[in-house]
Amino acid sequence: MRKLILTLLGVLIIGIAVVAAYFIIESNTKTKPKVDKVIKTVFAEEVRNGVVPITIPANGNLVAKNRLELYAEVQGVFQSSAHDFKAGQTYRRGETLLRINAAEYYASVQSAKSDFYNLVTSLMPDLRLDYPQAFPKWQQYLDGFNLNESVPELPTIEDEKVNYFITGRGVLASYYNIKNLEQRLGKYSIRAPFTGTVTEALVTQGTLIRQGQKLGEFIDTSVYELELSIGKTYSDLLGLNEKVTLSTLEGNNTYTGTVSRINARVDQATQTIQVFVEVKGENLKEGMYLEAQLEAKEEPNAIEISRKLLVDEDEIFIIQDSILNTITIDPVYFSPKNVVVKGVPDGTKILAKPIPGAYAGMRVKVNEDSLPGDASVNQAVQ
């Protein structure tokens, strides 16, 4: 009897424990809340195809069209200049940029002129006796000879015998030797070939200048050139003398340039062509960074949208009966922010702004306050 009672008590205790454990487990079970399906509200616009101007963006640095790198062809001491030869100094056309001391060389030129004069003088008695018809010309030549001026051109020699006589006495050799000395004497002075500004000065007065030494740089500040690199796809759309709109990075100043030159060679590395735009302006400086907008062509029956709306580069989302779907499009031109596309029928509703996590078949709600139609909001590709 005792064993029976103990067995029954054990079974009862186990049963109570099982029931208590069941209720404890049931009380800890959390019910899943019912999730309501959220329909996203989107901004849409209605497509209206039209003519979209395609403008090619490009940029570059200004370079003076007329520039002169100054090098010394002779040796000597920097003697003087029309102004203080320093960066930023302006010179007018014809003014002396640098004058190198040529006193010693000038003396040797004058000595050569004197020897030449004496040589011609020594020929006069023979000319009077043997060639009297040529004597007046050479007499007139000696009368007009001035040691302080450039050696005048020799008289015209028509008689062959006179020519042999003059040449045999070394007159021609002496004449051209002096002309060579005079040319070199002129290199001791460098004059401004145009009105401009010194942008680099590497010597000062009193500096010993050596042959071949760079002295500085001189540029014309009235006209500049902007070198642009344009893709070969649009190279045939640009022509000489076409107008180009240029602007600074801040967009504060705008200039109008003209296409002056187009390189005939394509850069093999970048597949671009060099286009040079000539521009003038008061506030322009060499090295200034400018952006250009080249009007390449107009694309008919197209729209312009944000590149963020593209799906796999050739599809976009459209809205049909509040459900997203995709349509294949034909991208015509890509700019940094926008893309010109064709192949979207008029009246089609497309997204105006991208939706994170969008997919084909997704149900959406169109915001009635969306901007009305015309997907080609911008007038040109920037």
Whether the per-residue pLDDT at 8 is higher than 80: the answer is no
The pLDDT assigned to 29 comes to 55
Distance CA 355, CA 364 (A): 10
For residue 202 the two structure tokens come to 């590497």
Contact 218, 202 (CB under 8 A): no
| Percent of residues, the chain, with pLDDT higher than 90 | 35
Query: Residue 347: which of 52, 45, 50, 51 has the closest Cα?
Result: 45
* Residue 264 predicted with pLDDT over 50: yes
Q: What are phi and psi of 309, to 5 degrees?
A: -85, -10
Interatomic CA distance for residues 54 and 218, integer angstroms? 39
Predicted local confidence at residue 376, as pLDDT: 46
Structural fold of domain 70-101+188-219:
OB fold (Dihydrolipoamide Acetyltransferase, E2P) (2.40.50)
Q: Which secondary structure element, helix H or strand E, spans residue 24, and what is its range?
A: helix 2-28
Q: Report the predicted TM-score, pTM, of the whole model to 2 decimal places.
A: 0.65
Give the span between the Cα atoms of 224 and 243, in whole angstroms.
15
Q: How would residue 369 be classed by pLDDT, with cut points 50, 70 and 90? A: low
Taking the C-alpha atoms of residue 318 and residue 326, their distance in angstroms, rounded to an integer, is: 6
**DSSP helix/strand/coil, 17:** helix
Q: Which residue has the higher pLDDT, 34 or 270?
A: 270
Residue 278: which H helix or E strand, with range? strand 272-279
Least confident of 91-100, 187-196, 350-359: 350-359
Q: What CATH architecture applies to the domain 223-298?
A: Beta Barrel (2.40)
Task: State whether residue 14 is helix, strand or coil.
Answer: helix
Q: Are 281 and 250 in contact (CB under 8 A)?
A: no
Distance CA 82, CA 90 (A): 10
At 185, list the tokens.
């004497």
pLDDT of residue 63: 93
pLDDT in tens, 320-347: 888 888 889 898 888 778 888 998 888 8
Asked if 205 contacts 85 with a C-beta cutoff of 8 angstroms, the reply is yes
The pLDDT of residue 380 is: 34
At 161, give phi and psi (nearest 5°).
-65, -40
pLDDT at 360 over 90: no
20 vs 26: CA distance, rounded Å: 10
Contact yes or no for 275/259 (Cβ under 8 A): yes
Contacts by 150-157, CB closer than 8 A, 24 or more apart: 150/182, 151/113, 151/116, 151/175, 151/178, 151/179, 151/182
The chain-wide mean pLDDT, for the chain, equals 85
Q: Is the separation of the CB atoms in 56 and 334 below 8 Å?
A: no
Just give the CATH number of 42-55+299-366: 2.40.420
Q: Among 21-30, 73-82, 118-127, 231-240, whose mean pLDDT is lowest? A: 21-30
Q: Which amino acid is at 178?
A: I
Residue by residue, DSSP assigns 155-186 as PP---HHHHHHHHHTTHHHHHHHHHHHHHHHH
Give the closest residue to 181 by CA, choosing from 84, 116, 260: 116
Q: CA 82 to CA 55: how far, in whole Å?
A: 48
Q: Is pLDDT of 236 > 90?
A: no
Backbone angles phi, psi at 197, to 5 degrees: -130, 140
Token pair for 46:
């209605």
47 phi, psi to nearest 5 deg = -75, 135
Q: Are 341 and 331 in contact (CB under 8 A)?
A: yes
pLDDT in tens, 174-194: 999 999 999 999 999 999 999
pLDDT bucket at 378, cuts 50 / 70 / 90: very low
Q: Which residue has the tokens 């593209």?
A: 310
* pLDDT recorded at residue 55: 78
Mean pLDDT over residues 12-34, rounded?
72
| Cα gap 84→182, rounded to integer Å | 27
Q: Where are the domains of the chain?
A: 42-55+299-366, 70-101+188-219, 108-175, 223-298
Residue 36 pLDDT? 55
Cα distance between residue 30 and residue 208, in whole Å:
96
